[in-house]
Amino acid sequence: MNKRRSKTPTQRSLALLQNEGFPAAVVEWRLPRCLMTEDAFGLFDLMAVRADFPGVLGIPTTSGMNHASRVKKLLSNARLQIWLAAGNTAEVWPWAKRQGRWTCRQQRLVAADLDGADADEMTGGDSA
C-alpha cells in the first residue's frame, strides 16, 4: 500500500499564490543540524509580489489548529509594525481540511490590530 504524502501548508500556499498571479519565494529556512526553522524577520514563511498589489505580501503558513498562535506571534513582534508602516501587507494563512477539501483562511493583519497587543510583549524577537 503506497501512502501519498500530503502537501505542506507552505506548498499549498505557493500553489494558491501562483494561481492568483503572485510570484512568491520561501523565506524561511531550516537551521543546520537542528530541528528549528527561522522565519524572515521572525515573521514570515513566504513573501510575494504582484504589479497591481502595493508593497510586499508577507505570509506565515500554518495548520488550522495553529492559526491563533501564529497571529499572536506576529502581533507580539515589533517588526510587524515596521513592516506595515513601510506599506507592506501581512496575512496569516492557516490550512484546514473541510468537507474533504483543503481550504485556506486568509487573515490580514493591519496596524489597528497592534493596538490590542500588550506593549510589554512587543519584543521584536526572532524565534520561529
Q: Note the pLDDT tens digit of each residue in 46-91.
A: 999 999 999 999 999 999 999 999 999 999 999 999 999 999 999 9
Q: Which pTM value belongs to this model?
A: 0.81
Q: Which of 82, 37, 80 is nearest to 59 (CA)?
A: 80
Instruction: Say which DSSP state 122 is in.
Output: -
Residue that wins the pLDDT comparison between 62 and 1:
62
Q: Which of 75, 99, 83 is nearest to 47 (CA)?
A: 83
Ordered by start, the domain boundaries in the chain are: 9-112
**Model confidence at 6: pLDDT above 80:** no
Looking at domain 9-112, does it have CATH number 3.40.1350? yes
Q: Count CB-CB contacts under 10 A for residue 45.
A: 24
**Model confidence at 105: pLDDT above 90:** yes
CA distance 49 to 89: 10
Q: Which three three-digit cell numbers place residue 107?
A: 487573515
The 10s digit of each residue's pLDDT in 110-124 is 999 987 654 334 333
